[in-house]
């Protein structure tokens, strides 16, 4: 088990990173594994589940709604599902902690069950917009009372049977898509989601894997996903691949620290998630894929990353959905590139665990990096491979990815930097600091 994370942490400049490490289970797939297993009748096994705070919040909520979930001594999780339609009224408010995915997906599940649930969360989550799921779920019949601005705390009163809808996503969001599909599981008829821009497709892959009738059609209106309810899900044995969004920090760290040569094993490379690796290669990063294989229905490989001189790029807008969680660490890579990197078309960064455009502009600025803020992104003036100044105290703003990105930046700064609070790292990558230490030795 990883050690509990400290609050503030000083990061000192690092020598070459070397060695081989694995990354923990994919967060998106871990949430969905618990939820879908809970809706299958019988016992599912989940190997490689991410044991981060966000996923544990999902597990606690599913337990509170009647599912039996246990972690075996071997680290395999066993879930005894209640079946689609079988969720029970939770006895108290569901505490979602920092987790937007838990909140939005579970709001979908509750919406088509005859139960009422109250959702609460931490200061970061309580600022995030829930209107994007409230709107379609209300159309399906759920009665949702939110705090001002469509925020947490909020209460969802489900309707059973709910009404199937056809809904075109106004924002590229896999969470919104998944909330509607999960609500559709217990809704008679066909629930249809149209996504003009493709987002991560784990829900579609896994729903099919659990036996739901789901089709995907690629048209000039976008991807049309049709799910037939009321579905019957069959228990599964799942292996969760490693999280590319967690691997991203190690890949950028090895790319910017001179002399590094690192193998990051077990990285999920679903094309709807792998945009960062494509952009890093455009920048001249030295990343090779070894031992490509399929794990749990997803493409996986080990990534060998060696330090390389990076060049600035204009980040292609169309890659934004496939690297939306990786912009903070991409900005760090850009801070070490030759020239000015421009990353726009990523307005969604404003409504993540923090406003990641502001958070990274401030954090890199405090370390001596020049940035220019746009409504939908950031431009970063790179150092051409020289160490950045560092020497600052950085606010992580209850955002795990800001904390980890700035830990990475600190490895290649001239002077040690301090991060005010690294405890949010436990939401998605509890042993991140230990893994990094292993590579520094």
Q: Is the dihedral of CA 47, 50, 51, 57 positive or negative?
A: negative
* Catalytic annotation, pick one of 325, 420, 421, 437: 325
Instruction: Give the residue with the Cβ less far from ligand S3P, 152 or 413.
Output: 152
What is the footprint of ligand S3P within residues 313-332 (CB under 6 A)?
A: 324-325
> Token pair of 364, please?
């890199």
- Which residues belong to the annotated binding site for 3-phosphoshikimate? 27-28, 32, 173, 175, 325, 352
Q: Which residues pair with 228 in a beta bridge?
A: 190, 213
- Binding-site residue ranges: 27-28, 32, 100, 128, 173, 175, 325, 352, 356, 401
- Please identify which residue in 135, 261, 278, 348 interacts with ligand S3P, judged by CB under 6 A: 348
CB 185, min distance to ligand S3P, A? 16
Cβ distance 197 to 172 under 8 Å? Answer: yes
Counting Cβ atoms within 10 Å, is residue 433 exposed (0-12), middle (13-18) or buried (19+)? buried
3-state secondary structure the chain: CCCCCCCCEEECCCCCCEEEEECCECHHHHHHHHHHHHCEEEEEEEECCCCCHHHHHHHHHHHHCCCEEEECCCCCEEEEEECCCCCCCCCCCEECCCCHHHHHHHHHHHHCCCCEEEEECCCCHHHCCCHHHHHHHHHCCCEEEEECCCEEEEEEECCCCCCCCEEECCCCCHHHHHHHHHHHHCCCEEEEEEECCCCCCHHHHHHHHCCCEEEEEEECCEEEEEEEECCCECCCEEECCECHHHHHHHHHHHHHCCCCEEEEEEEECCCCCCHHHHHHHHCCCEEEEEEEEEECCEEEEEEEEECCCCECCEECHHHHHHHHHHHHHHHHHHHCCECEEEECCCHHHHHCCCCHHHHHHHHHHHCCCCEEEECCEEEEECCCCCCEEECCEECCCCCHHHHHHHHHHHHCEEECEEECCCHHHHHCCCCHHHHHHHHHC
Tell me the closest approach of the beta carbon of residue 171 to ligand S3P, in angstroms.
8
CB of 157 to ligand S3P, least distance (A): 24
Contact stretch for ligand S3P (CB under 6 A) within 172-180, 205-213, 326-334, 418-426: 172-180
192 to 221, contacts with ligand S3P by CB under 6 A? 200
Q: How far is the CB of 247 from ligand S3P (least distance, A)?
A: 14
User: Would you list which residues are annotated within the binding site for phosphoenolpyruvate?
Assistant: 27, 100, 128, 175, 356, 401
Is 175 near ligand S3P (CB under 6 A)?
yes
Cβ closer to ligand S3P: 307 or 400?
Answer: 400
CB of 338 to ligand S3P, least distance (A): 29
Query: Which residue's CB is nearer to ligand S3P, number 272 or number 381?
Result: 272
C-alpha 204: how far from its chain's center? 16
Binding to ligand S3P (CB under 6 A): which residues in 253-312?
none
How many residues in the shown chain lie near ligand S3P by CB under 6 A? 10
**Nearer to ligand S3P among residue 50 and residue 308 (C-beta):** 50
- Residue 273 or 304: the one with the smaller Cβ distance to ligand S3P is 273
Binding mask 132-171 for ligand S3P (x = CB under 6 A): ----------------------------------------
58 versus 371: smaller Cβ distance to ligand S3P? 58
Q: How far is the CB of 322 from ligand S3P (least distance, A)?
A: 11
**129 or 339, CB closer to ligand S3P?**
129
In this structure, how many other beta carbons lie within 10 angstroms of the beta carbon of residue 211? 15
Which of 173-181, 223-231, 303-311, 371-379 is the region at the interface with ligand S3P (rule: CB under 6 A)? 173-181
Bridge partner list, 10: 418
The least CB distance from residue 101 to ligand S3P, in Å, is: 4
Q: Which of 14, 17, 28, 48 binds ligand S3P (CB under 6 A)?
A: 28
Window of 145-153, 174-182, 278-286, 360-368 that interacts with ligand S3P by CB under 6 A: 174-182
Contact 412, 252 (CB under 8 A): no
Q: Which is nearer to ligand S3P, 136 or 410 (CB)?
A: 136
413's tokens: 């700064």
- Residue 260: CB minimum distance to ligand S3P, A: 27
Distance of CA 299 to the CA centre of its chain: 17
**Catalytic annotation present for 325:** yes
Per CB under 6 A, residues contacting ligand S3P are: 28, 101, 173-175, 178, 200, 324-325, 348
Q: Which residues are catalytic?
A: 325
């Amino acid at each position: 088990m990883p050690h509990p994370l400290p609050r503030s942490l000083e990061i000192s400049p690092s020598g070459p990173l070397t060695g081989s490490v694995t990354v923990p289970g994919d967060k998106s797939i871990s949430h969905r594994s618990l939820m879908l297993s809970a809706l299958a009748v019988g016992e599912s096994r989940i190997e490689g589940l991410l044991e981060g705070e966000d996923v544990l919040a999902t597990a606690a909520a599913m337990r509170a709604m009647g599912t039996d979930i246990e972690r075996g001594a071997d680290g395999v999780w066993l879930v005894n599902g209640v079946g689609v339609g079988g969720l029970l009224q939770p006895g108290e408010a569901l505490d979602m902690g920092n987790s937007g995915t838990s909140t939005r997906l579970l709001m979908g599940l509750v919406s088509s069950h005859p139960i009422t649930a109250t959702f609460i969360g931490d200061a970061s989550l309580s600022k995030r917009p829930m209107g994007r799921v409230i709107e379609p779920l209300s159309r399906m019949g759920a009665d949702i009372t939110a705090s001002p601005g469509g925020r947490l705390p909020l209460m969802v009163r489900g309707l059973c049977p709910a009404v199937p809808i056809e809904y075109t996503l106004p924002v590229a969001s896999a969470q919104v898509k998944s909330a509607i599909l999960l609500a559709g599981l217990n809704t008679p008829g066909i629930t249809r989601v149209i996504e003009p821009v493709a987002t991560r497709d784990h829900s579609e892959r896994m729903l099919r894997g659990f036996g739901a009738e789901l089709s995907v059609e690629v048209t000039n209106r976008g991807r049309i996903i049709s799910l037939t309810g009321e579905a019957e899900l069959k228990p599964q044995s799942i292996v969760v691949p490693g999280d590319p969004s967690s691997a991203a920090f190690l890949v950028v760290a090895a790319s910017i620290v001179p002399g590094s040569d690192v193998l990051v094993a077990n990285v999920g490379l679903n094309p709807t998630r792998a945009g960062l690796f494509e952009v890093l290669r455009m920048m001249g990063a030295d990343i090779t894929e070894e031992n490509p294989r399929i794990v749990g229905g997803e493409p996986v490989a080990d990534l060998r990353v060696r330090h390389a001189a990076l060049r600035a790029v204009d980040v292609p807008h169309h890659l934004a959905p496939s690297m939306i969680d990786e912009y903070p660490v991409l900005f760090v890579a850009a801070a070490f590139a030759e020239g000015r990197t421009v990353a726009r078309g990523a307005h969604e960064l404003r409504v993540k665990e923090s406003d990641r455009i502001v958070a990274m502009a401030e954090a890199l600025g405090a370390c001596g990096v020049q940035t220019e803020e746009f409504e939908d992104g950031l431009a970063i003036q790179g150092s051409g491979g020289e160490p950045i100044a560092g020497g600052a105290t950085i606010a992580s703003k209850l955002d795990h990815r800001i904390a980890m990105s700035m830990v990475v930046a600190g490895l290649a700064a001239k002077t040690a930097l301090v991060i005010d609070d690294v405890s949010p790292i436990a939401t998605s990558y509890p042993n991140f600091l230990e893994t990094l230490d292993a590579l520094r030795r």
